[in-house]
Amino acid sequence: MKRTLILIAAVCAVQVAGGTAVAQYPDCNQSFVIPPARLGLSPKNLEVATQFQYTLRMQLWNMAGAPEANWPAGDIVLEVAAPCPNPFTGLNPNGPSNANGIITWGPIELDRPGGSCAGANVVHIRIISVNCDYFLNSVTSPDEDGDGLVALADFSFFQQAFVNGGPTHQGDLNLSDGRPDLGDLGFFQRHFVAP
């Protein structure tokens, strides 16, 4: 009981000090990565037609159960960790959350060397100011080996995944259904032939 009262007092203090309602912050328990909750990267993401481009979206909800609009992009970062071939940190979405609380890492942000990889929590999304952490377990890319090119060596990785029915992070290039199929082959082809 004593801890509950201390917590309530702390929340009230934040409300008074900040001059804003606690509901006006993203709620870690209600916000989520919009399916397919998988990260795709490609060094040719900008060269292919829109339907073949990778994007990643997340919806921010606040404690009142409403979309959190206009949350600053600079407060949200996407990171990829080793053992992925091209780890990076501090990638912000392309702008603040929209009226529906949606933030997007679009074709420009995800136009980078890939390197298909899988492992616990290799992709990390952080909302810095409210200490929210979201994790994904793979990176998918037509640049399977992560050398910054979509080439024949990458097709060899994809072909093995296609024949064997996985692994998902190497075969389901269009992030559609978790298994390699002809749609994924077409997806690879578009990235392969793009200038």
Query: Hey, how many other C-beta atoms are within 10 angstroms of the C-beta on 39?
Result: 25
Phi-psi region of 121 (alpha: psi -120 to 50; beta: other; left: phi over 0): left
Residue 95: DSSP 8-state: S
Residue 8 reports pLDDT greater than 60: no
Tens digit of pLDDT for each residue in 33-79? 999 999 999 999 999 999 999 999 999 999 999 999 999 999 999 99
Tokens 């990778």 -> residue:
54
- Percent of all residues in the chain with a pLDDT value above 90, rounded to a whole number: 88
Nearest Cα to Cα of residue 80 among 90, 72, 88, 92: 88
**Would you state the pLDDT for residue 3?**
42
- Over its C-alpha atoms, the chain yields an Rg (Å, rounded) of 19
State residue 18's pLDDT score.
43
CA dihedral 53, 59, 60, 61 (to 10 degrees): 170
What lies within 8 Å, CB to CB, of 188 at 6+ separation is: 142, 150, 154, 155, 158, 173
Amino acid letter, 81: A
Residue 22 confidence class, pLDDT cut points 50, 70, 90? low
Q: What residue ranges define each of the domains in the chain, with the CATH number in brackets?
A: 23-193 (2.60.40.10)
Euclidean distance between CA atoms 61 and 101, whole angstroms: 7
* Residue-wise pLDDT tens digits, 168-194: 999 999 999 999 999 999 999 999 999
Any idea what DSSP says for residue 34?
Answer: P
Q: Which two tokens stand for residue 162?
A: 């296609």
What pLDDT score does 1 carry?
43
- What percent of the chain shows pLDDT beyond 70? 88
Token reading at 54? 């990778």
pLDDT, average across residues 99-108? 98
Residues 6+ apart with CB under 8 A from 10: none
CA–CA gap between residue 95 and residue 107 (Å, rounded): 13
Whole-angstrom distance, CA of residue 168 vs CA of residue 171: 5
Give the CA dihedral 176, 180, 183, 186, nearest 10 degrees.
130
Q: What phi, psi does 22 have (nearest 5°)?
A: -60, -30
